[in-house]
Structure 1
Amino acid sequence: MTRRTRFPALDGLRVIAALAVVVSQVGLHSQAPLAGVVSRLDIGWAIFCAISGFLLYRPHVLAWFSGTLPPLTLPYLRGRALRILPVLLLAVVLSMLLVPEPATVYLRWALCTPLVFFVLIPGLGRLLTGYERPTRRSVRWRLFVLLALTVLGPVWMAVVTATGHPEAALWLPGYLGWFAVGMGMALWQVARATGRLGASTLDILTSVPATLWGIAAALLLISATPLAGPYDNSMPTPAQALLKNLMYTAIVACALFPVLSPSARTIRVLGSRQARLAARLSYGVVAYQFVVLGLITGPFAVQLPVTLVATAALAAASYYLVERPIMRRGKKSATTTTPSIVTSPSSSPAR
C-alpha cells in the first residue's frame, strides 16, 4: 500500500485546480460579475502547491520508512526540469512577444515560488526524514513541524503587507504553508499505512469526503467576502492578507485529504480516463492562459469559453509535440548514460 505511486483521484483535483485558476484570471481580466466568488477561485494555485508537496515529499518518506536511499537529487532535478521548463519558457516567450505584462507577473511568481520549492525539496526531504528512526514519536514531531510551517505563510503575508513590500508577497515563504499541507498528508498517509500512527478521527474523515468538501466550499464562500481582501490586485490590509492565506490553507487541507483514501465513487469521477488525460494538460492550460487572455476582450461570458478552448488546444499541442517528446528523450538519455547501481541491504544508510 505504501509503495503505490499513483493516487488517481489527484488527477481530477488537479483538473479542478486548473479550471479554478483560469476562471479567476478571466474574471480579473474581464471584471466579472460575482467578483468575490470568481476572484477567490485563485485557490487553484494553493491546490497545485499542496499536490506538489504531497507527490514530491512522499518518496522521501517512503525511503525513510523502508531504510533505503532517498531519491537521487540530480535525476530528480533533471526530471523536474524536463517537465516544467519547456512549457514555462514557451509561455513566457509567447507572452513577451504578444502581451509583455502578464509574462512578467507569471515569470516572477514561477521563479519565486514553485521552482524554488522544487529545487529545495531534496534538502527539505532529507532534513525532515533523517537523523532518527521513523518511530511514532519522530513522525508526530515532524507532523508538528509541518503544521508550524502552515502558519508561516499567513504571518509572512501580513508582515510584508504591513511593511509595504508587495514584491516579497511573491516569494516562497508566503506559500510554503500550502506545500506543507501536502507534505504533512504524505507523511500521515505513509505512517498510517505502516502502523506508525494509530487510528484517529482523521480516518473517519477520509470516509466522508462530502463533509470535508462541504467545509471547503463554506470556507471559500466566507473568503469571498471583503474579510479576505479586495477582489483585484489592490493591496489588502495586513489582517486581510493573513486571513486569506490562512483560509486558503484550511480549504486546501479539506479538499486534498479525501482523495488520499478515496471511495470507489470518488475514483470513478476524479480518477477517470478523461480526468487523467485532462490532468496531463493542466499545467499547459494554466501557463498558456496568459497568452490567450492578452489577445481577447469582451465580457466574462465570452472570454471564459474562448479562453478554455484556446488554452486546451495550446496545451494539447504543447504536450504532444513538445513536452512528451522532450520527456521521453530525456528519460531515454538518462537510461543509456547512467550505469545501473546495485546496492545490497548492508549498503543502505543506518537509520
Structure 2
Amino acid sequence: MRATRFPALDGLRAVGALAVITTHVGFHSGASLSGPFAGILARLDVGVAIFFAISGFLLYRPHAVAWFEETPPPTTRRYLRNRALRILPALWMAVAAAALLIPHKTDVTWATYVEQAMLTQIYFQGAAADGLTQMWSLATEAAFYLCLPLLARVLVGREPPNRRNIRRCLAVICGLILLGPVWMATVNVTGHPQAGLWLPGYAGWFAVGMGLALWQVARTNGGLAPTALDPLARVPGTIWTIALGLLVLAATPLAGPYSLAASTPGQAFVKNLLYTVIATCILLPAVEPTQQVSRVLGGRVGRVAGDISYGVFAYHLIVLGLVERISGYRLFSGHVVLLLVPTVLVSAAVAAASYYGLERPIMRRGRRDKSYDVSPTTGDSKASAQPNNTAP
C-alpha cells in the first residue's frame, strides 16, 4: 500500500497544541473565568477535538485505502507497536518529570503516577496529579487506538467498496458522531462524571476524521460522486470563518459554564456537538488542501511544529507550573500573555529536545529502520511515497 503525506495536518496539529496550552494558561491566570475573552479562552479546549479528528483521519485512512485497493489492511501487531513507540516515551518522561518537579497533593500517591503511565487514570476515582491533568485525553485516545482495528473491520466488512457499501459505512460513522453528544448528556443526567472522560463521549470527534478519510479515499478512487464537501474544501477561508463563528457560539451559555462546574444535559449535548462540527470545519481544508494551505500549514515550520506538538502537549502543564512557581503566581493574575509566552517557548524547547533526542531515535530503533520517516504525518497524493506514521 502506497503511503502518502498530508502536510497541512502538521500545521493543524500545532494549532491544536497551541489552543490547548492557551486554554490552560487562561485558567491558571484566571482570564478564562472572567474578562472580555473568558468564553473564547475557556473554549479553546476544542484543540482536543482537533487532535482526535486528525487521529481518526490518519489512523483509519490506511484501512479505507486497503479496502479500495483490495490489499491486506494494516496488521494489528505492527500498528499497536508503532502507536506504543509514538506515545509512551514522552508520556513516561512527562510522568517522571511531574513526580519529581511538581509538588503533589497529599492524596496523590505512587499509584496515581502508575495509573498515568499506564493511561488508566480515567477509569479510577482519585485525585489527579498536577502537571498531568491533560493526559485524560491521551488515555481516551489510547482507548480509540485499541478499538480501531476491530471498528475498521466492522465498517469495511467483506463486500467490495461500491456506492451502497460506502454510504452504509458513512451512515455508521454518522451514528458514531451522534453517540458523543448523547453520551455526554446522559452522563450529566446519571451523575457519573468519570464516564465523561471515556471514549464514547468523544467518538464523534474521531468519527469525523474517519468519515473524511473514507470520503477522501472514495473521491480519489471514483467511489463517490462530487458532494457538497468538494467546493467547501476549496474555500478554506470561508469554512474556517464558519468554524470561528461556531467557536463564538460555543463561548455562550449554550455550551455550559466556563469552569469545571457541571453543565446541564442540554449544554453538554450542545458543546460536544459544536466541537464536532468545528473540528470538521478545521480539518476539511487540510484533507484536500489548496496550494496556499499546503504552503502555510505544511511548510518547514509547520512540519517541525507538527513533529513536536505531542511533546508540547505532554510537557506544557509541567512547564506552566514551574514558570508560575519561579516567577510568582501573583505576577500572572489576569495576564494571559505574560504567562502564555514563556510557557509556549519553554514547552516548545523541551518538546524539541524530547522529540529529536528521545522520541525519534526510539521510534527508528523500534521499527528497525533508520531511514523511516517518523514525522507524525502522512501526506498528499502528489508527495513522494513514505512510510506511514500518524498522530498524536
Give the TM-score, by structure 1 length: 0.91
* Distance in 1 (alpha carbons) for counterparts of 2:245 and 2:135: 32
Counterpart of 1:24 in structure 2: which amino acid?
T
* Distance in 2 (alpha carbons) for counterparts of 1:12 and 1:106: 21
Match in the other structure for 1:166: 193
Within 5 Å, give how 1:13-52 maps onto structure 2. 13-32=12-31, 33=35, 34-52=37-55
User: Does the residue aligned with 1:294 lie in a helix, a strand or coil?
Assistant: helix
1:50 and 1:178 in contact (8 A); partners too: yes
Counterpart of 2:92 in structure 1: which amino acid?
L
* Distance in 1 (alpha carbons) for counterparts of 2:174 and 2:6: 23
List per-residue Cα deviations over 1:28-57 (Å, max 9, x = no partner): 111114111011111100000000000000
- The percentage of aligned residue pairs carrying the same residue is 54
* From 345, 351, 357, the counterpart of 1:315: 351
Match in the other structure for 2:321: 294
Between Structure 1 and Structure 2, how many residues are aligned?
333
Q: 1:211 and 2:238 equivalent? A: yes
Match in the other structure for 2:76: 73
Q: 1:327 and 2:367 equivalent? A: no
* Distance in 2 (alpha carbons) for counterparts of 1:221 and 1:119: 34
* From 67, 91, 94, the counterpart of 2:94: 91
1:10 and 1:270 in contact (8 A); partners too: yes
Counterpart of 1:102 in structure 2: which amino acid?
D
1:98 and 1:294 in contact (8 A); partners too: no
* Distance in 2 (alpha carbons) for counterparts of 1:4 and 1:269: 22
Give the TM-score, by structure 2 length: 0.82
Q: How far does residue 207 in structure 1 lie from its aligned partner after superposition?
A: 1.4
List per-residue Cα deviations over 1:188-224 (Å, max 9, x = no partner): 0000111110112221111111111111000000101
* Distance in 1 (alpha carbons) for counterparts of 2:337 and 2:136: 29
* From 127, 130, 154, the counterpart of 1:102: 130
Provide closer, same or farther for how the CA distance between residues 282 and 30 of structure 1 changes in structure 2, counting only shifts above 3 A: same
Q: How far does residue 103 in structure 1 lie from its aligned partner after superposition?
A: 4.5
* From 300, 304, 311, the counterpart of 2:340: 304
Q: 1:183 and 2:182 equivalent? A: no
Provide closer, same or farther for how the CA distance between residues 3 and 333 of structure 1 changes in structure 2, counting only shifts above 3 A: closer
Q: 1:146 and 2:182 equivalent? A: no
Counterpart of 2:317 in structure 1: which amino acid?
F
Q: How far does residue 333 in structure 1 lie from its aligned partner after superposition?
A: 7.1
Q: How far does residue 66 in structure 1 lie from its aligned partner after superposition?
A: 0.9
Counterpart of 1:326 in structure 2: which amino acid?
I
Match in the other structure for 1:348: none
Provide closer, same or farther for how the CA distance between residues 250 and 108 of structure 1 changes in structure 2, counting only shifts above 3 A: closer
* Distance in 2 (alpha carbons) for counterparts of 1:264 and 1:108: 36
User: Does the residue aligned with 1:195 lie in a helix, a strand or coil?
Assistant: coil
Q: Which runs of 4+ in 1 moved over 4 A?
A: none
* From 65, 68, 73, the counterpart of 1:62: 65
* Distance in 1 (alpha carbons) for counterparts of 2:59 and 2:42: 28
Structure 2 residue runs without a partner (length 5+): 105-128, 372-392
1:116 and 1:172 in contact (8 A); partners too: yes
* Distance in 2 (alpha carbons) for counterparts of 1:68 and 1:86: 32
User: Does the residue aligned with 1:210 lie in a helix, a strand or coil?
Assistant: helix
Q: How far does residue 334 in structure 1 lie from its aligned partner after superposition?
A: 11
* Distance in 1 (alpha carbons) for counterparts of 2:136 and 2:217: 34
Q: How far does residue 27 in structure 1 lie from its aligned partner after superposition?
A: 0.5
More helix by share: 1
Counterpart of 1:56 in structure 2: which amino acid?
L
Q: How far does residue 184 in structure 1 lie from its aligned partner after superposition?
A: 0.3
List per-residue Cα deviations over 1:38-89 (Å, max 9, x = no partner): 1111110000000000000000001111111110111111111111001111
Q: How far does residue 3 in structure 1 lie from its aligned partner after superposition?
A: 4.5
Q: How far does residue 102 in structure 1 lie from its aligned partner after superposition?
A: 2.9
1:149 and 1:180 in contact (8 A); partners too: yes
* Distance in 2 (alpha carbons) for counterparts of 1:210 and 1:182: 20
* Distance in 1 (alpha carbons) for counterparts of 2:95 and 2:195: 21
1:17 and 1:44 in contact (8 A); partners too: yes
Structure 1 residue runs without a partner (length 5+): 336-351
* Distance in 1 (alpha carbons) for counterparts of 2:152 and 2:12: 24
* Distance in 2 (alpha carbons) for counterparts of 1:333 and 1:212: 40
* Distance in 1 (alpha carbons) for counterparts of 2:58 and 2:136: 24
1:30 and 1:303 in contact (8 A); partners too: yes
Q: How far does residue 4 in structure 1 lie from its aligned partner after superposition?
A: 5.0
* Distance in 2 (alpha carbons) for counterparts of 1:144 and 1:40: 29
List per-residue Cα deviations over 1:249-268 (Å, max 9, x = no partner): 01111111111111111111
1:157 and 1:241 in contact (8 A); partners too: yes
1:21 and 1:42 in contact (8 A); partners too: yes
Match in the other structure for 1:130: 157
* From 118, 140, 145, the counterpart of 2:145: 118
